[in-house]
């Protein structure tokens, strides 16, 4: 995944489809899509770990949980 801060966009490459797609989060306050919060990635402790671009946090990246930190995405 690549985040382009000046465009407020995140692009991710899918190895199964060999295609790029946009990753975004819905900001309900401003009613707009914003770039994904992940700024870096590492695999360790049998999980995908991502750094938060908005603060000093590390999250476990999972495709079966639809939350963004403490905010539940619907």
**Domain total in the chain:** 1
Q: Which residues fall within 8 angstroms of residue 61, CB to CB, at 6 or more apart?
A: 38, 41, 47, 48, 49, 50
Q: Identify the domain containing residue 51 by its residue range.
A: 2-72
Is the whole-model pTM more than 0.75? no
Q: Provide the residue-wise pLDDT of the chain in tens; the chain has 74 residues.
A: 788 888 888 888 988 999 999 888 888 888 988 888 888 888 999 988 888 888 888 888 877 776 666 544 43
């Amino acid at each position: 995944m690549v985040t382009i801060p000046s465009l407020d966009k995140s692009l991710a490459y899918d190895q199964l489809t060999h295609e790029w797609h946009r990753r975004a989060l819905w900001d309900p306050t401003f009613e707009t899509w914003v770039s994904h919060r992940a700024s870096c990635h590492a695999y360790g402790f049998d999980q995908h770990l991502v750094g938060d671009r908005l603060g000093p946090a590390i999250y476990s990246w999972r495709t079966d949980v639809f939350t963004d930190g403490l905010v539940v995405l619907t």
